[in-house]
Amino acid sequence: MVDWADVPPHVVVQLREICMALPEVQEDTPWTGARWSIRKRNFAHVHCIDGPNGPVTYVDVRAEGEDRDMLERVGHPFFAGWGPGVIGMVLDDGTDWEEVREVVTDSYCLLAPKKLSALVARPEG
């Protein structure tokens, strides 16, 4: 049984800023946290679990292939998520919000129609 906790409001604000800057994004409030989708496909969902050492906040994003494998190998703050193609990223005081922006944007582009993902500025590499 998972004990859900409230996501810190400043985390939702920062994720909202990142997600809502992308084309045609919708935000909703599911059973816990907040999530963002493109055409009913969730690309980011922030949760908080009340664990034995206190609350842990993380965002689930989508990743495939080499990107997913690399993120899983990196370890903290990344971990294998709760389903195929899902990666979790712990959000804490040491979070690099530019890295969050990158993985959230990649997740969006993976699920968005090509015409929308083409509108998104992404770092070359």
With a cut of 80, say whether residue 122 has pLDDT above it: no
State the residue for tokens 């294998």: 80
In this predicted model, what pLDDT tens digit does every residue of 99-114 receive, in sequence order? 999 999 999 999 999 9
With a cut of 90, say whether residue 97 has pLDDT above it: yes
In this predicted model, what pLDDT tens digit does every residue of 55-82 receive, in sequence order? 999 999 999 999 999 999 999 999 998 8
Supply the mean pLDDT for the chain: 93
State the residue for tokens 């409230």: 6
Cα–Cα distance, 83 to 103 (Å, whole number): 17
Closest CA to 2 of 28, 31, 22: 31
Tokens of 51: 């664990």
Residue-level pLDDT at 1: 64
- Output 121 or 9, whichever has higher pLDDT: 9
- What's this model's pTM, rounded to 2 decimal places? 0.93
